[in-house]
Structure 1
Amino acid sequence: MKIVDGVYRIRLFPSSVYLVEDEKLILIDTGVPGYTSRILRYIRKMGRNPKDIGFIVLTHYHIDHIGNARRLKHITGGKVVAHEIEAPYIEGKQRAWKDGRIWWTRLLLWIGHMVFRKCFTKVDIKLRDGDKIGNLKAIHVPGHTRGSIALLDERRGIMFPGDTVPYTLAYMRLKKGPNPYSWDVDKECKSFEKLAKFDYELLLPNDSRIVTRRGAEFVRQFVHHMCKSKVDTR
C-alpha cells in the first residue's frame, strides 16, 4: 500500500512494516516469523530488487518486529539497525522476560525468547537518540521497551512511532489503563510527550490505523489523558 511517494506499508498480522525509498531502501521492522517471502514479493512488485535494501531498522526487540530480520539480512545484505540499548535483546544476549511488568507478560516474553531463538540476529549499526539513517532521525522513546525508537522523516513530515503510540491509545480508549506489554509506564508517558513536541502530518504506527493529517496534533490530544490516567494493572 503506497502511503505517499517513496513510503509504502506492507500489511502483515499483527504488525505491519514499512518501506522507505531513500538513497537505499529502508525497511522499518519485519513482522512475526514467516513473512519473509511476502516482504520480498512486495519489493519486487515495486520494481525493486531485494538487494536494494540497505537498512533493516528495528524499532524494538519484540518478536512481531524482529521476526524476519535474520533471514532478510541474509537474503538482502541489508544492515540491521537498532538502538544500542535494544541490541543485546535482538541478539539474544539479554533475558527479555526480566523486563515484563506483569507476571503474564513475563511469561510471554520467556516463551518468545525460547521458541524464537533462531530469529535473533546481530545488530550492525547501534543508534543513539538523534542519529540518522538516511533521512530518518532516530528518537529514543523508552517505555514500551528500554531501547524503543521512533523514526522521524522530517523531509516528508512523517513519524513512524513503532509501538509507542498505538497500543497506548487503544488501552486508554478501552479505559484499561496503560499498555500491559510496556516495560515502564512512567517512561512511556514521558516518551509520549516527547513525540508530541515534533512537527509531522502523518503518523504511521505498525499496529493500528494510520493518521494522514495533523499527526502531531493527534498525539498531543492524548498526552494529558495518558499521563493522568495511568493505572497499575498488575
Structure 2
Amino acid sequence: MKIVDGVYRIRLFPSSVYLVEDEKLILIDTGVPGYTSRILRYIRKMGRNPKDIGFIVLTHYHIDHIGNARRLKHITGGKVVAHEIEAPYIEGKQRAWKDGRIWWTRLLLWIGHMVFKKCFTKVDIKLRDGDKIGNLKAIHVPGHTRGSIALLDERRGIMFPGDTVPYTLAYMRLKKGPNPYSWDVGKECKSLEKLAKFDYELLLPNDSRIVTRRGAEFVRQFVHHMCKSKVDTR
C-alpha cells in the first residue's frame, strides 16, 4: 500500500512494516516469523530488487518486529539497525522476560525468547538518540521497551512511532489501563510527550490505523486527554 511517494506499508498480522525509498531502501521492522517471502514479493512488485535494501531498522525487540530480520539480512545483505540499548535483546544476549511488568507478560516473553531463538540476529549499526539512517532521524522513546525508537522523516513530515503510540492508545481507549507489554508506563508517557513536540503530518504506527493529517496534534491531544488522566505510573 502506497502511503505517499517513496513510502509504502506492507500489511502483515499483527504488525505491518514499512518501506522507505531513500538512497537505499529502508525497511522498518519485519513482522512475526514467516513473512519473509511476502516482504520480498512486495519489493519485487514495486519494481525493485531485494538487494536494494540497505537497512533493516528495528524499532524494538518484540518478536512481531524482529521475526524476519535474520533471514532478510541474509537474503538482501541489508544492515540491521537498532538502538544500542535494544541490541542485546535482538541478539539474544539479554533476558527479555526480566522486563515484564506482570507475571503473565514475563511468561510470554520467556516463551518467546525460547521458541524464537533462531530469529535473533546481530545488530550491525547501533543508534543513539538523534542519529540518522538516510533521511530518518532516530528518536529514543523508552517505555514500551528500554530501547524503543521512533523514526522521523523530516523531509516528508512523517513519524514512524513503532509501538509507542498504538499499543498505549488501544489499551487506554478500551479502558483496560496501560499496555501490559510495556516495560515502564511512566516512561512511555514521557516518550509520547517527546513525540508530541516534533512537527509532522503523517503518523504511521505498525499495528493500528494511520493518521494522515495533523499527526503531531493527534499525539498531543492523546497525551493531554489520556496519558495524564488515565495512567497510574506508580
Interval containing the TM-score (normalised by the shorter chain): over 0.9
Describe the superposition over 1:118-176 as per-residue Cα deviations: whole angstroms up to 9, x where unpaired: 00000000000000000000000000000000000000000000000001111111111
Partners of 1:24 and 1:54 within 8 A in 2 = yes
* Matched-pair contact (CA < 8 Å) for 2:80–2:122: yes
Distance 2:146 2:230 in 1: 19
- 3-state DSSP class of the match of 1:180? coil
Check the 8 A contact 1:193/1:220 in 2, yes or no.
Answer: yes
Work out whether residues 163 and 207 of structure 1, in 8 Å CA contact, stay in contact via their aligned partners in 2.
yes
Find the aligned partners of 2:220 and 2:231 in 1 and give their Cα distance: 20
Are 1:7 and 1:21, in contact at CA under 8 Å, matched by a contact in 2?
yes
CA contact (8 A) 1:178 1:233 kept: no
How far is 1:233 from its partner?
10
Aligned equivalent of 1:153: 153
Question: Using the alignment, how far apart are the partners of 1:231 and 1:134 within structure 2?
Answer: 35
Task: Give the alignment's TM-score, normalised by structure 2.
Answer: 0.98
Residue by residue over 1:154-213, the C-alpha shift from the partner in whole angstroms, topping out at 9 and shown as x without a partner, is: 000000000000011111111111111100011001000000000000000001000000
Cα deviation for residue 231 of structure 1 reads 4.5
The corresponding residue for 1:219 is: 219
Per mean C-alpha deviation after superposition, the further-off stretch among 31-40 and 166-175 is 166-175
Q: Report if the CA contact (8 A) 1:91-1:122 is conserved.
A: yes
Residue of structure 2 equivalent to 1:59: 59
Query: In the alignment, what sits opposite 1:5?
Result: 5
Q: Do the aligned partners of 2:36 and 2:71 also contact (CA within 8 Å) in 1?
A: yes
| Local SS of the residue matching 2:60 | coil
Contact 1:29 1:59 in 2 (8 A): yes
Within 2, Cα distance between the matches of 1:145 and 1:103? 16
Question: Alignment partner of 1:229: what SS?
Answer: helix
CA RMSD of aligned residues (A): 1.2
The alignment of Structure 1 onto Structure 2 pairs a total of residues equal to: 234
Structure 2 residue runs of 5 or longer lacking an equivalent are none
Residue segments in structure 1 that go unaligned for 5+ positions in a row: none
Change (3 A) 1:230 1:103: farther
Aligned partner of 2:182 in structure 1 is 182
Deviation at 1:229, TM superposition (A): 3.3
Q: How far did residue 232 of structure 1 move?
A: 5.4
User: Is the CA contact 2:141–2:150 (under 8 Å) kept in the aligned structure 1?
Assistant: yes
CA distance in 2 between counterparts of 1:73 and 1:226 reads 39
Q: Percent identity?
A: 99
Stretch deviating more after TM superposition (217-226 or 80-89)? 217-226
Q: What is the CA deviation profile of residues 41-87 of structure 1, one whole-angstrom value per residue up to 9, with x for unaligned ones? A: 00000000000000000000000000000000000000000000000
Q: Distance in 1 between matches of 2:222 and 2:42?
A: 34
